Amino acid sequence: MRRLIHKTTAVWKREEGAILLLPLVVAALFVAPLLKDWLPGLAALSTTLVVLLFVVGTLVVARNVWGGLAVSLLAGAAILLEVVRQIAGADSFAPWRLGLSGLTIGVFTVVMLARVFAPGPVTSYRLVGAVVAYLLVGLTWAYLYQFIEVLRPGSFRAAQGMAEGSYPTALYYSFVTLTTVGYGDVTPVSSAARAFSNLESLVGILYPAVLIGRLLSKQVAVAPPEPPLPG
165: left (phi over 0), alpha (psi -120 to 50) or beta: left
92 lies in some domain: yes
Average pLDDT of the segment spanning 189-209: 92
Q: How far apart are CA 36 and CA 200, in angstroms?
A: 27
18 lies in some domain: yes
> Strands 186-188 and 156-158, how do they pair?
antiparallel
142 lies in some domain: yes
List all residues 6 or more positions away from 97 whose beta carbon is below 8 Å from its beta carbon.
78, 81, 82, 85, 91
Render pLDDT for 1-59 as a digit per residue (tens, 0 to 9): 545 434 444 554 566 777 888 888 888 888 777 766 666 666 667 778 888 888 888 88
What per-residue confidence (pLDDT) applies to 223?
52
176 lies in some domain: yes
230 lies in some domain: no
Q: How far apart are CA 46 and CA 49, in angstroms?
A: 5
What CATH number does residue 73 fall under? 1.10.287.70
167 lies in some domain: yes
Range(s) of the domain holding residue 55: 2-220
What per-residue confidence (pLDDT) applies to 32?
73
Overall number of domains in the chain: 1
Looking at residue 40, the DSSP 8-state letter turns out to be G
94: amino acid identity, one letter: A
Q: Over the Cα atoms of the chain, what is R_g?
A: 20
Render pLDDT for 159-175 as a digit per residue (tens, 0 to 9): 877 777 788 889 999 99
227 lies in some domain: no
231 lies in some domain: no
Give kind and range of the element (H or E) at residue 76.
Answer: helix 65-88
